[in-house]
Amino acid sequence: MILRDRVALVTGAGSGIGRAGAELMAREGAHVVILDRDASAGSDAAASIRDAGHRAEAHAVDVTDDAAVEKVVSAIAARHGRIDILHNHAGAQVPGDLESVDVAGFDRSWSLNVRAHFMAARFVMPVMRAAGRGVILNTSSSSGVLYDREMISYTTTKHAVIAMTRQMAGDYARFGIRVNALCPGWVDTPFNAPFIGQMGGRGAIEAYMRDKVPLGRWGTVDEIAECILFLVSDRSSYVTGQILVADGGETIA
């Protein structure tokens, strides 16, 4: 098991990609700490991991609540003596172009998609620096490297995550800490509902994929989980400041 006895903190792990990544990390030996504002979803994910014979715990936390995140990070570090992995995954889509996007929604998107990543990394960094090692993975999106029509909030925040990732990587490599970004493309989860609605429904988005995505299909959460495992494990030990795009080839189309 390539993550044996490591402690991994995953935000937004109650469902979708975050949950699949947490489950795979647990299968590979990590003790997974799930942070999700949906207490039921987080508890269910942790219970599923434990039922499979692996280690997990869940905390109902809104990751935009700095004090709550800091409290959990401090408690985990004190109890386990380490935090080896932080996967900042929690995020949200807010539809709309410059003139139609809800300004409050834009602000919430920034707070969740960018600032919450920043703060969680800030809280775990002293623990990782003291250990002389650690991995931070920030979830961006293929929207962080592409134009997404009428999704100015999401695209702006996901581009910002990539810039922030590169800056963190450059600043903290000398402490043995690696920081990378994951850019999933079209993955079939409820997370995509706002954009699917904006595109005109599921039929329209699947027609788009057939035309614009070379592999011609949705990705699966399990496929993205394998990318997560690569980036948080020693399989990528010489990789930092990089962006892994898993989008079925959309960015080359």
- Within-domain flag for 110: yes
CATH number at residue 126: 3.40.50.720
172 is catalytic: no
Q: In what order do the strands lie in the sheet with 134-139?
A: 55-60, 31-36, 7-11, 85-88, 134-139, 177-184, 243-246
* Domain coverage including residue 45: 7-252
Q: Which pLDDT tens digit goes with each residue over 155-190?
A: 999 999 999 999 999 999 999 999 999 999 999 887
How many domains, the chain? Answer: 1
Is the residue at 20 inside a domain?
Answer: yes
| Residue 48 pLDDT | 98
Q: For residue 1, is it within any domain?
A: no
Q: 2 in a domain, yes or no?
A: no
- 253 pLDDT exceeds 70? no
Token code pair at residue 234:
């020693």
| Alpha carbons 139 and 175: distance in angstroms, whole number | 22
The runs of H, that is alpha helices, within 52-201 are 66-80, 103-110, 116-131, 152-172, 193-199
Confirm whether 134 is domain-assigned: yes
Give me the chain's average pLDDT, please.
95
Q: What is the pLDDT of residue 189?
A: 85
Helix, strand, or coil (residue 39): helix
pLDDT band at 18 (very low <50, low <70, confident <90, very high): very high
pTM: 0.95
Summarize pLDDT for 34-60 with one digit per residue, the tens: 999 999 999 999 999 999 999 999 999
Catalytic residue among 154, 172, 208, 238: 154
> How does pLDDT run across 99-155, given as a tens digit for each residue?
999 999 999 999 999 999 999 999 999 999 999 999 999 999 999 998 877 889 999
173: amino acid identity, one letter: A
Look up residue 129 and give its two tokens.
Answer: 């620096």
